[in-house]
Structure 1
Amino acid sequence: MTLNGAVFQTDVDDMQFFEFFVGPFGLLRTAENIDEVSLSGFELSAAWAVTDNLRIDAGYSEVDGEIDLNNLRPYTAGNEVPNNPEFTANAAIQYTMPLGNLEVFGRLEYSYKGDTWYHTVQDDVLPATLFGGPPANYGQTNGQGGTMVDGYGLTNLRLGLRGDNWSVTAFARNLTDEEFVAEVILAPEFGGAFVAPGTQRRVGVEMSYSF
């Protein structure tokens, strides 16, 4: 068995994230800077060759990120760093078996991405929207106009057969057809958001040949 781990602490200046900015020209996707953020966390990984044919892998990471200074929106200091999952975890089991001169193989993978903020504006209530409307609260957690998206898990499966210089693999990505939000880009002062849904289940066959 192989075990690896790491602990880190770092300070970052001018970290960028995407948002929508609304002006006389319309809606524009822009990259904004966060003046100062601090990040700390740890990573763990393990690999275990149970037998010559069976292997298990696992990993876990956790990052605590905080906004220290944000001149664009000073009231967001102390909020969490956007696009930084609460934690991530993954596990995989792989099995191979000889079949004459060929090899049968299979791999089952599971990964989980924790709750993620997608903007510096989080539990804050904005003074007003761009057009002078009532204050907007962006502390929602549904990914549909809020700035946090709930965590989700995805399962992938691969089964195949290979020879010396070729392979045929059947695959299923997002095997359980989990519904999730892949990305949220907001325009807080405008009161709107672009929400990108995650990829639905995909199945297919891959073939490869090396010369």
Structure 2
Amino acid sequence: MIYHFHTDAGQSVVRIEGEAFRHLIKARRSDIGDTLTLRNKAELSSYTYRIETIVRDEATASLVERLPEPSASTRALHLGWCIIDPKNIEKMLPQLVELGVETITFLTCDRTQRNFRLELSRWERIIDASMQQCGRTASMKLIEGKKVSDFLTANPHALILDFAPTPLDSTQISTTQTFLIGCEGGFSPNEQALFDPAKVRRLDTAHVLRSETAAVAIASLALL
């Protein structure tokens, strides 16, 4: 874990209790004199603290220094992602956080199963845990969108990943800010009728990728 969220990070003295105490003190076997890195969600800065006291299930730590601002991702990558099984989305979230995806807009496509429900509150907690593990400070935003047509209207320069004859080229990968990814089975004919053929591409592979694999693949190509 690179840092730990703490609501009082930035104060001269902080109390460590509850879940933070169990993780930072007990599980990691931290002791008096050891240092911790804490961060307040309200800002990007992280702070180094030194443990001063440990009494039963509570510790206190004093501020040592404010750490330099971390470097952000070089690109603000936005994925429009047609909703698939929420369990599969959930498995991919830590990877997308680590890669540096800025925003995911979830869309109800024609082939999205109607019984799927987004668990945004749960996913936000997963994102927080992943951020603390990888050191990312700017949270990945999750947006519950509507239809493909609405997304394309709001993002007219988006490239669509579909079963297309033309693969993405290196220039498109390096310059495109927004990609649209279909659900299992791809886009319906009605949705494909909305697409500008010049903006429909495929990943350069001979294999058919699952929707979640395509999401991680395009994020990796664009951001690494």
TM-score range normalised by the length of the shorter chain? under 0.3
TM-score by length of 1: 0.24
Q: Point out the structure with the larger strand share.
A: 1
Asked which structure has the greater CA Rg, the reply is 1
Query: Comparing both chains, which one has the higher relative contact order based on Cα–Cα distances under 8 Å and sequence gaps of 6 or more?
Result: 2
